[in-house]
Chains A and B, each alone.
Chain A
Amino acid sequence: MADKVLMKGNEAIAEAAIRAGCRHYFGYPITPQTEIAAYMAKRMPKIGGVFLQAESEIAAINMVYGVAAAGLRVMTSSSSPGISLKSEGLSYLAGADLPSLVVNVQRGGPGLGGIQPSQSDYFQATKGGGHGDFRMIVLAPSSVQEMAELTVKGFALADTYRMTAMILADGTMGQMMEPVALDDLPVTPMPEKPWAVTGTGMKRPHNVVNSLFLSPEKLEETNFERYDRYRVIEEKETMYEEYRMEDAEICIAAFGIAARVSKNAIDEARAMGIKVGMIRPITLWPFPKAPFRRAAEQVKEVISVELSMGQMIEDVRLATECRVPVTLCNRVGGMIPSPEQVLDAILKAAKNGGKEA
């Protein structure tokens, strides 16, 4: 049993990144994720790494692009409005097939929104990280321990598939403190990167990191190749947790803080004799379609619990192929659904017996 330390979620991400071999961090201050930058500012100079506060989110993501092109593990972090600014860079990273880790500790939006937790960047992360056809691997931690584990995992996935892995957390995950075991994190060595721009040494033809292809045939080819890779990820890297689903007649779909709240409500409902369980996606892209397809054969209703106006619910409906009613239980704008609200939704579903209210 590894020793545990009490840490904020944001600090756990920063420490895990360092343990994963990340020695370059670029960021711009924004609440509620600034602890990551503060941690990096303190630690990086002491371990021969680089912390640099960029002049903007745009500059930060382009510094990430530079380090990634040079073949090293690199990250940036921000919160919702800042991620919008990084969209250009995320698209270029995808177009140039560069690995990077990007953290979004979400806050309420749109616009400047607020500084309280939210999950309303689900669409942005899973469907629209920027212009053009591309995906990011989107990881949704539900505890401080997972903040650390998924950070390490994110670097490995990014390197393996040459793409951006995004930690999609929220203000609660970033700010809350929990005991975390850091000693046994599944750190992987960095693979060889023969494509990196480190100087030819006059020993090989020059490497070019680029997303420009003026020939439509060539550009199409790069898109097809990228999506072949994405299919492998869908097959091999989808992650989720099932909670009390064995005999469930009602299924909660929730990730991150919404899943934590839902667990409490599920336990209470179970004590009342209601057969309810949960599927918690850990990868939001690739979305765990299989367990939801199975659930559609088993349950009467799926309740999507979200801190958004209903974004993941679209993927739940697609995965269940609309075979069962899928309802939304939500709060937005920085509000969090309470266990009572989720319990009410469960009781209503139990009473309706699968008919849409």
Chain B
Amino acid sequence: MIVFQKPHALADLPMHYCPGCTHGIIHRLVAEVMDELGIEGKTVGIAPVGCSVMAYDYFNCDMIEAAHGRAPAVATGVKRANPENVVFTYQGDGDLASIGMAETVHAAARNENITVIFVNNAIYGMTGGQMAPTSLPGQVTQTSPYGRDVKHCGYPIRVCELLSELEGPEYLERVTVNNVKNVKNAKKAIKKAFQNQIDGKGFSLVEVVSSCPTNWGMTPKQALEWIDEKMLPYYPLGVYKDRSASQEAEK
């Protein structure tokens, strides 16, 4: 009896991610959801610029590599071209919340019927650990070597909270994957974000608070603990918008 196997939607390839990086977990959750919903054959995924730039190799569904920050615009094109496709973007914090903020906000405002997986690890990983739009106050990075000085470069952006002010989006939830319980919750959220699209409900974004042991300069275990200690107080987990659920509750 098989009790555990690789999801079909996940390619059988060695990944380039660093040891202890949580991208592997999040990739797997997305692939498991594709399997469980039986949508791999009609899904088009969009990889960003950043650590997950080569995600197009790791998922067995059709894939597009987009310009930095532009995945929600590309996804809009794909979804408008073939509305029967399930379209998701998989973006990091620099991609989604800095260079691509306009595309993110407007796709949400249009309630574009796509699914966005937003991996927030508070740093630019691929380029070697620079300050991100979500780097915490005081956080030491290559471009904030004395710690992020909020007087000089402002405050980190809470994406779910920001987008929750818009009428447009259907569903916004922040999860993390630093322990088994949280991984299970993350999967539930990701599944809902895909199911919403299948049901035609609209823009669904799951922010996954994630780790970057390499660029945080920590062991994988320390990095997971740092999520609890530092990240979650600034980025509280929870559902920031769920229009259908709120409408149900009002009835």
| CB-based contact A206/B81 at 8 Å | no
Asked whether A67 and B65 contact (CB < 8 A) given A55-B106, A198-B85, A199-B44, the answer is no
Contacts of A65 in B (CB 8 A): 64, 66-67, 70, 73-74, 77
Give the interface SS of chain B, mostly helix, strand, loop or mixed: helix
Q: A209-B63, A210-B64 are in contact. List 19 more A-B contacts (CB 8 A).
A: A55-B102, A59-B73, A62-B77, A66-B76, A66-B77, A70-B44, A74-B77, A199-B42, A199-B61, A200-B60, A202-B41, A205-B60, A206-B61, A207-B63, A209-B64, A209-B65, A210-B63, A210-B65, A211-B65
| CB-based contact A63/B77 at 8 Å | yes
A residues near B (Cβ < 8 Å) are 24, 26, 50, 52, 54-56, 58-60, 62-72, 74, 88-89, 92, 96, 197-203, 205-212
B43 within 8 Å of A by Cβ?
Answer: yes
Alpha-carbon separation in the docked complex, A72 to B43 (Å): 17
B225 within 8 Å of A by Cβ?
Answer: no
Contacts of A52 in B (CB 8 A): 76, 80
Contacts of B57 in A (CB 8 A): 208
Contacts of B61 in A (CB 8 A): 199-200, 206
- A-B residue pairs, 6 tightest by C-beta: A66-B77, A62-B73, A70-B81, A197-B62, A55-B106, A199-B42
In the complex, the chain B residue whose C-beta lies closest to that of A199 is B42
B residues near A (Cβ < 8 Å) are 40-44, 53-54, 56-57, 59-67, 70, 73-82, 85, 102-103, 105-106
Closest CB in chain B relative to A40 CB, distance in Å: 13
Contacts of A69 in B (CB 8 A): 64, 74, 77-78
Alpha-carbon separation in the docked complex, A227 to B59 (Å): 31
Asked whether A200 and B62 contact (CB < 8 A) given A56-B102, A70-B44, the answer is yes
Alpha-carbon separation in the docked complex, A209 to B70 (Å): 14
**Would you mind naming 26 contact pairs between A and B with Cβ atoms under 8 Å apart?**
A55-B103, A58-B70, A58-B103, A59-B76, A59-B103, A59-B106, A60-B73, A62-B77, A64-B77, A65-B70, A66-B74, A66-B80, A67-B78, A70-B81, A71-B81, A74-B81, A197-B44, A199-B61, A199-B85, A200-B62, A202-B40, A208-B63, A208-B65, A209-B63, A210-B65, A212-B54
